[in-house]
A and B are shown apart, each in its own frame.
Chain A
């Protein structure tokens, strides 16, 4: 691809996520299809990439004892209506290193796009990573998203992740996340999705609390309308003594939408404790009546409640 074309494509990609120029102390990586269009690093952050026919292999390392001040910005996406993008990522946060990543996945014109993400994240001892993945889709929902992530959390390390798809139609989402948590490690996974039209959403998140004092929280908040369907399977298995876990699934269903929630908790150690809550239903009538009694219409009140749940 010519440099000019690259620049134009990069500008379109960034415009679709309302991101333009960034200051020099913010690291960023932009990948369109199977091509890395932009890469800017800061001290302590290594990113290597290798393109293949349908995607890119990426290796990310945050070096030992490094704290990256500003969130590292990733932008994955495709501007055309059709295509496949496979991203294979291996991330290592070395001992005592700390970072946060903000990934925007953008498919603004999608009609038939497949986005496959295969990620392995390793957090070494006493490190931390916050990972926010925000999806921006077009109005027609022509995207199939298949993110599969395995996370290995070593002693005293901490990992939190948020997957957010609130604007645009989701299309098809098959989200798979699994974390193995060692002694005093913590994992906090949140998923917030607004499904519309004929969206099909399947989420399977699991945490294995292996180590003593390990902690896991899995939260899924899903709102569905039209003919959208969702199935949420969240599972925590606790083996370690004093391991603590909580599973929270909440789904609001409107129109012809259908939702299923399967929270699974398994405790294999008498000193561990795991709880769960799951609720599926229409908008809470008391919340609705409170906002109606302030003069909002039913549609306005419902929108406000759903936006709150997904915030």
Chain B
């Protein structure tokens, strides 16, 4: 069953085409990946799905559970159950960890915060009274971001480069929460160029030069990405001979 569908999605800025005629079907309950080299258009695609500023003026359509969300704002999409974890999560001076985690949660109780922090391997006693500010390390900040998403229980989660700028210990917890959310029925889209993150997915779309060049299940897509795509020197221009194989 499809939860999200992209139909002929094209995004341009001036003369530059960032995403070209993207067609995708995201299956409910699966862990998908959008994989590709730096500059391929992965984050652009994630931001467009979420409806961030600067990514709204596209042609084509985005359907969430069968209905167009093209004209919905970010918060309207979020209230339908769609959310995004940024590659570099924002820091909020003075905003408490508890307030941040509860921001997207329907249930506003301390238990929700404690449960969410525990799920990402952070001791609630140490973090309940801290702020989501620059005193947190990159790994701590990312885990708190995931705790807030866990408290939200989204239907569809976009994770932009979940392993970016974090330590090995944090990666372990990030992978755990991906599986935890999947168990609870959340559909996940991992946006990544990391083979290690790609291993967490069941199905992947390969993007290059703003175009989906291939799709398929693991391990086929993993082998293709790490064997052919990663070492590729085409720098954002899909190799048509490889795609056709």
Q: Is the CB of A296 within 8 A of B89?
A: no
Contacts known (A295-B78, A305-B95); A290 close to B50, Cβ less than 8 A: no
In the assembly, what is the distance between CA of A301 and CA of B95, in Å? 11
**In residues 255-306 of chain A, which contact B (Cβ within 8 Å)?**
284-287, 289-298, 301, 304-305
Residues of A in contact (CB 8 Å), total 24
User: When chains A and B are docked, how far (Å) is the Cα of A106 from the Cα of B74?
Assistant: 41
Asked if B75 and A296 sit within 8 Å, CB to CB, the answer is: yes
Q: Which residues of chain B have C-beta atoms less than 8 A from A290's C-beta? A: 86, 89-90
B74-A304 in contact (CB<8A): no
In the assembled complex, A308 has its CB within 8 A of some CB on chain B: yes
Cβ of A307 and Cβ of B83 under 8 Å apart? no
Asked if residues A310 and B94 are in contact (CB atoms below 8 Å), the reply is yes
* Chain A residues in 8 Å Cβ range of B79: 295
Residues of B within 8 A of A311 (CB): 94-96, 131
Instruction: Answer whether residue A309 sits at the interface, using C-beta atoms and an 8 A cutoff.
Output: yes
B136 contacts the other chain (Cβ, under 8 Å)?
Answer: no
Residue of B whose beta carbon sits closest to that of A250: B93
Verify B90–A292 contact, CB threshold 8 A: no
Which residues of A have CB within 8 Å of B131? 308, 311
Residue of B nearest to A294 (CB): B104
CB-CB under 8 A from A309, the residues of chain B are: 93-94
Q: Is B186 an interface residue (CB 8 A)?
A: no
| A294:B103 contact, CB within 8 angstroms | yes
Q: Contacts of A294 on B, CB cut-off 8 Å?
A: 78, 83, 103-104, 148, 152
Looking at A284, A292, A310, the one whose CB has the most chain B CB atoms below 10 A away is A292
A286/B93 contact (C-beta < 8 A), A294-B148, A294-B152, A295-B78 known? no
Residues of B within 8 A of A286 (CB): 86, 90
Question: Chain B residues with Cβ under 8 A from A307's Cβ?
Answer: 94-95
In the complex formed, the residue of A with least CB distance to B75 is: A292
Contact of B90 among A250, A284, A310 (CB under 8 A): A284
Using CB atoms, name the residue of chain A closest to B103.
Answer: A294
Report yes or no: A292 in contact with B95, Cβ–Cβ below 8 A: no
Instruction: Note all chain A residues with C-beta closer than 8 A to B95.
Output: 304-305, 307-308, 311
Contact call B94/A293, Cβ cutoff below 8 A? no
> CB-nearest residue of chain B relative to A287?
B90
Q: How far is the CA of A228 from the CA of B8 in the complex (A)?
A: 47
A293→B103 CA distance, assembly (Å): 10
A292–B86 touching, CB < 8 Å: no
B122 at the interface (CB under 8 A from A): no
Residue of B nearest to A192 (CB): B94
Contact A293 B74 (CB under 8 A): yes
Q: Does B33 contact A (CB under 8 A)?
A: no
Residues of B within 8 A of A285 (CB): 53
User: Does residue B73 face the partner (Cβ distance < 8 Å to A)?
Assistant: yes
Output the nearest chain A residue to B152 by Cβ-Cβ distance: A294
Distance in angstroms from A176 CB to nearest chain B CB is 25
Contact A304 B78 (CB under 8 A): no
CB<8 Å pairs between A and B, sample of 22: A250-B93, A284-B90, A286-B90, A291-B103, A292-B78, A293-B74, A293-B78, A293-B82, A294-B152, A295-B79, A295-B104, A296-B103, A304-B103, A305-B92, A305-B95, A307-B94, A308-B93, A308-B95, A308-B131, A309-B94, A310-B94, A311-B131
Chain B contacts to A: CB under 8 angstroms: 50, 52-53, 73-75, 77-79, 82-84, 86, 89-90, 92-96, 99, 103-104, 131, 148, 152
Give the B-binding residues of A (Cβ under 8 A).
Answer: 221, 250, 284-287, 289-298, 301, 304-305, 307-311
The 8 tightest CB contacts between A and B, nearest first, are A294-B104, A308-B95, A311-B94, A308-B94, A295-B78, A292-B74, A286-B90, A292-B75
